[in-house]
Amino acid sequence: MSPQYEDFDLLIERFGDGYRVRVIDSPAGQAQAPLPPTPDLAAIQAALDAGQQVDQFDPVQSRQWGAALYAALFPGEVETALLRSLDAVKRNGRHLRVRLHLTDVPELARLPWELIYAPPLDRFLTLSTTTPLVRYMALSATAPHLPAPPPLALLCVLADPVDLTPRLDVEAEWRLVQEAVAPLVAGGALTLTRLTPPTVEALRQHVRRTPVHLIHFIGHGWADRTTQQSGLVFEDDAGAAVLVDAETLGVILEGDAALRLLFLNACAGARAAEHNAFQGTAQHLVRQGVPVVVAMQFDIVSQRATLLAQEFYRAVADGYPVEAALTEARKALFTADAAPDWATPVIFTRAADNRLVETPPPAAQMVAKPAPPIPRLPFEPEMVSIPGGVLTMGASDAPAAWRQHTVEVPAFAIGKYPVTNAQYAAFVQQQPERRPQQSGWFFTTPPADRLDHPVTGVTWHDAAAYCAWLAVQSGRAYRLPSEAEWERAARGDDARTYPWGEEPPTPERCNSGSDQTTPVTATPAGCSPFGVCDLVGNVREWTTTRWGDNVRQPRFLYPYRRDEREAASTRVNELHICRGGAFKDAPALLTCSARTAVHADAHLDFIGFRVACDA
């Protein structure tokens, strides 16, 4: 259920030789108190002046500094107003959004207020959807109405200039953004477009010709403390870096009535100029009319930024407003004994309501007619619906790490066959960097005599990227199956050894003991009770399920659970579980319970995959 918020408006202003904190409005009324200067607050400012990054904060220091920021922002009567407001909104079944007004004190805008730790609540404020914090930028213009009727148009700008280091894994983030928004695309709530090439001119042309509601920038940011200028790094036509200042971006985006949100997954996007609250990249863009900007106040490791973006869009897909969605993304980064990089993102807003998608009134929901079925594309795999049920998973004689047990598996759908070379070819035409290796392909052209064979030579990342692409193309939320779903599709309602029963493998039931793949339809006698075919033999198949980093020791043991083993991972070479055995594998690997662990970036001529989706 999407959180509903009331506002706690908090203003910091100059007062005599120091500062004063004022509660402008709140459920508990108004209040004010002097902002008390403390040694810890001075230490935070000194650390920032010295260039210290959030990944250099230790957990004890993070909590200490978070408490110092709380003491500065909620002194005396202001804290009383906060606690009373929390009680008031709780009684109404709502939450409290802290809106921080820093326009008059740009020198304090540089402090990491998102790190606030509240001792009376024993938690960091921004790690709870009950108390998110946004930086509110009050302008003379009327506050925009943010919720828009679907579908929203999301434009992704992925800039990774060839002459800048470190290079970014923009393709991994693109794949994870696709996966995260696939339910929105499938439900008709969102369209997804990648800006090609990632140049300023291409951006200008696109926003002029096509309404864009959300822009997600993946790349580098820059800030010059000498000139007080900042901006983003785009590419030129040759792929080299082009520094684009915030003023130029503001000119391009100013007046775009459709634009609701700009997500800057780039370093330095939230850094404020010391003497001008509107001089930072995000701040300037809000002033020029962008209603909400999410930006980074510290450098952030590329893989962590990717995870942040994925979880943000997953929460948006669940109907969360921007501040609550970002809170969910922060939670995905949080680890108690690690540096607080979850405090890196900042929300700048001038909107009264940060929901992105307009929801219809209840009456409209009651009379709404079901959407017509989405036509199936020529290159989409054939799917089989699998009813929910209890799976007897594993083998009775297996090691303890994967000993037989029962698992409740919800209903889902899975590909009747592994994805074929012909089906994968449609994807490779658009993403040639994902072409198979060591499998007879000539660049993006599959072997003509094996179009109906399972595609092989693809990494786990390639397979996941195919699913995300197929979801965007088709409007259905495709993904890889979990290993429990795979085994449920193979075994049916009993604990059979093979998909077809207990009889040993034969050429009519599966392709084994050979030196190459065969057509996916070649062994109909080997189909499972649900009619899913080519499950064992021919190729091993990637699943979503993680094994860990050590091939000799799984990180995740049986009994199977939908826990961290199914969490999204951005590690390049983590081990994932394959199921099904291959044409060259020993008979022991051809059972329904057999599993192998393979590095996610391996291109092997005996590993393929099939797709799945929720029921």
Residue 51 CB coordination number (10 Å) = 9
Q: Quick check: helix, strand or coil at residue 161? A: coil
At residue 360, the pLDDT reads: 53
Q: How confident is the model at residue 277 (pLDDT cuts 50, 70, 90)?
A: very low
Over residues 95-120, mean pLDDT: 93
Q: Regarding beta strands 412-415 and 152-158, do their DSSP bridges make them parallel or antiparallel, or are they unpaired?
A: unpaired
Measured CA distances, 245 to 235, 251, 316, 346, 609 (Å): 13, 10, 29, 19, 44
What residues contact 190, with CB distance under 8 A and at least 6 apart? Answer: 150, 151, 152, 153, 154, 181, 184
What is the rounded distance in angstroms from the CA atom of residue 116 to the CA atom of residue 182? 34
At residue 571, the pLDDT reads: 62
pLDDT tops 60 at residue 257: yes
At residue 13, the pLDDT reads: 94
Q: Amino acid letter at 355?
A: R
Question: Are residues 482 and 543 in contact, defined by beta-carbon separation less than 8 angstroms?
Answer: yes
pLDDT tops 60 at residue 28: yes
pLDDT tops 60 at residue 276: no
Q: How confident is the model at residue 368 (pLDDT cuts 50, 70, 90)?
A: very low
What is the rounded distance in angstroms from the CA atom of residue 194 to the CA atom of residue 530? 38
Q: How confident is the model at residue 359 (pLDDT cuts 50, 70, 90)?
A: low
Q: How confident is the model at residue 317 (pLDDT cuts 50, 70, 90)?
A: confident
What is the rounded distance in angstroms from the CA atom of residue 364 to the CA atom of residue 569? 39
pLDDT digits (tens, 9 = 90+) for 114-124: 999 999 999 99
Q: Quick check: helix, strand or coil at residue 434? A: helix
Q: According to the 3-state scheme, what is the secondary structure of 89-131?
A: HHHCCCEEEEEEECCCCHHHHCCCHHHCEECCCCEEHHHCCCC
What is the rounded distance in angstroms from the CA atom of residue 342 to the CA atom of residue 117? 13
pLDDT tops 60 at residue 366: no
At residue 365, the pLDDT reads: 43
Q: Regarding beta strands 95-101 and 221-224, do their DSSP bridges make them parallel or antiparallel, or are they unpaired?
A: unpaired
How buried is residue 379: exposed, middle or buried, by Cβ count under 10 Å (0-12/13-18/19+)? Answer: middle
DSSP one-letter code for 148: B
pLDDT tops 50 at residue 209: yes
273 compared with 488, residue with greater pLDDT: 488
At residue 271, the pLDDT reads: 61
Question: Are residues 393 and 407 in contact, defined by beta-carbon separation less than 8 angstroms?
Answer: yes
DSSP string, 464-487: HHHHHHHHHHHSS--BPPPHHHHH
Q: Regarding beta strands 5-15 and 18-25, do their DSSP bridges make them parallel or antiparallel, or are they unpaired?
A: antiparallel
How buried is residue 494: exposed, middle or buried, by Cβ count under 10 Å (0-12/13-18/19+)? Answer: exposed
Lowest mean pLDDT segment, chosen from 278-292, 435-449, 490-504: 278-292
Over residues 70-76, mean pLDDT: 96
Q: Amino acid letter at 372?
A: P
At residue 14, the pLDDT reads: 93
Residue 296 is encoded by which pair of tokens?
Answer: 């980074």
Question: Are residues 277 and 228 in contact, defined by beta-carbon separation less than 8 angstroms?
Answer: no
What is the rounded distance in angstroms from the CA atom of residue 25 to the CA atom of residue 88? 14
Q: What are phi and psi of 327, to 5 degrees?
A: -60, -45
Over residues 380-409, mean pLDDT: 87
Over residues 316-340, mean pLDDT: 89
**pTM score of the predicted model:** 0.67
At residue 142, the pLDDT reads: 63
Over residues 226-247, mean pLDDT: 91
Residue 446 CB coordination number (10 Å) = 22
Which residue in 546, 519, 544, 540 sits closest to 607, CA to CA? 540
pLDDT tops 90 at residue 552: no
pLDDT digits (tens, 9 = 90+) for 174-200: 887 887 777 778 777 788 899 999 999
Over residues 475-482, mean pLDDT: 91
Which residue in 590, 450, 578, 579 sits closest to 506, CA to CA? 590
pLDDT digits (tens, 9 = 90+) for 527-541: 999 999 999 999 999
pLDDT digits (tens, 9 = 90+) for 420-450: 999 999 999 999 999 999 889 999 999 999 9
| Average of per-residue pLDDT values in the chain | 88
What residues contact 610, with CB distance under 8 A and at least 6 apart? Answer: 381, 414, 415, 417, 418, 419, 481, 541
What is the rounded distance in angstroms from the CA atom of residue 14 to the CA atom of residue 25? 19
pLDDT tops 70 at residue 279: no
- Could you give all domains of the chain from N- to C-terminal order, each with its CATH number? 5-136 (no CATH), 152-349 (3.40.50.1460), 383-614 (3.90.1580.10)
What is the rounded distance in angstroms from the CA atom of residue 229 to the CA atom of residue 217? 19
